[in-house]
Amino acid sequence: MNAGRVLSKGLVRLWLPVLLVAVWWYASADSSNIYFPPLATILETFQRDWLTARALDDLVPSLTKLVIGFLLAAFGGIALGTLLGLSPRVRSAVEPIMQFLRSLPPPVLLPIGLLLFGITGAMNIFIIVFGAIWPTVLNTADGVRSLPPELRDMARSYRLGFRQRLFAVVLPNAAPQIFSGLRVTLQLSIILIVVSEMVAAVDGVGFYVLNSQQTFAVAETWAGTLLLGVIGYLTTLVFLLAQRRVLAWQTGMHQTRKA
């Protein structure tokens, strides 16, 4: 691809966000409404609170809890889903309980989490894992069960061991479905870290947003909200890059089939 095409592709994607920011900038420039401070003020606050060492106080705890919670939900979800996918017996035993737990709106777990863990990082992580694990569990179980009979025969006739079957055949075959589950798990993790920090935390971005709102620090509320958007956007971007790498074979296969 030449430079001109890269540029025009970038322009197509960027013109609307740039336009909206510009409109916001000019429309709010002289705003004296306390609920809608000028974008310039919000960005100054953003720069002061989130682009300096001060950011470490709230950003690092939030991101740490998010990453730990997401990884626990992801690996726990893949492990549990694999077990469910491989064993019909485990599946029929666990399915009703799982459907029940899955139907609980995750924020409902907050009071119990508070009772069990108090206002701690462990509590925030508990909420993430319990609330966000289910899409990965269910998608993994489905993906594991969807092994084509041809591959099952191949694995059996070449006498592949359990680990080979699992890591070379079953899980790669399930990978596209696992990834779509993980993506939802990631989105839920971000929602839940913010919600749980708003309700019960002494630091973190969620705490910052709600705390600033309750103390009428409106520019801070806006800046924190913007930051959450940026965090969500960037984590999804990183996730999609990882997915593209792991599922490169699938993309390649689809492109050759179309050609």
- Residue ranges binding other proteins (CB under 8 A): 148, 150-151, 153-154, 156-161, 164, 168-169, 172-173, 175, 249-250, 252-253, 256-257
How near is the Cβ of 82 to other proteins at its closest, in Å? 17
Nearest to 195 by CA among 144, 97, 124: 124
Q: Which is nearer to other proteins, 105 or 148 (CB)?
A: 148
Separation of alpha carbons 135 and 118, rounded Å: 27
How near is the Cβ of 99 to other proteins at its closest, in Å? 31
How near is the Cβ of 244 to other proteins at its closest, in Å? 14
Q: Locate 121 and state its tokens.
A: 């990082």
User: Residue type for 50, please?
Assistant: W
Cα dihedral 73, 76, 80, 85 sign: positive
Q: Which residue has the tokens 């790669």?
A: 172
Which DSSP state fits 256?
Answer: H
How near is the Cβ of 192 to other proteins at its closest, in Å? 32
How near is the Cβ of 83 to other proteins at its closest, in Å? 22
Q: Which is nearer to other proteins, 241 or 253 (CB)?
A: 253
Q: Locate 248 and state its tokens.
A: 């490169």
Q: Which is nearer to other proteins, 30 or 150 (CB)?
A: 150
Q: Which is nearer to other proteins, 60 or 253 (CB)?
A: 253
Separation of alpha carbons 177 and 162, rounded Å: 21
Q: Which is nearer to other proteins, 54 or 244 (CB)?
A: 244
Q: Locate 47 and state its tokens.
A: 């720069």
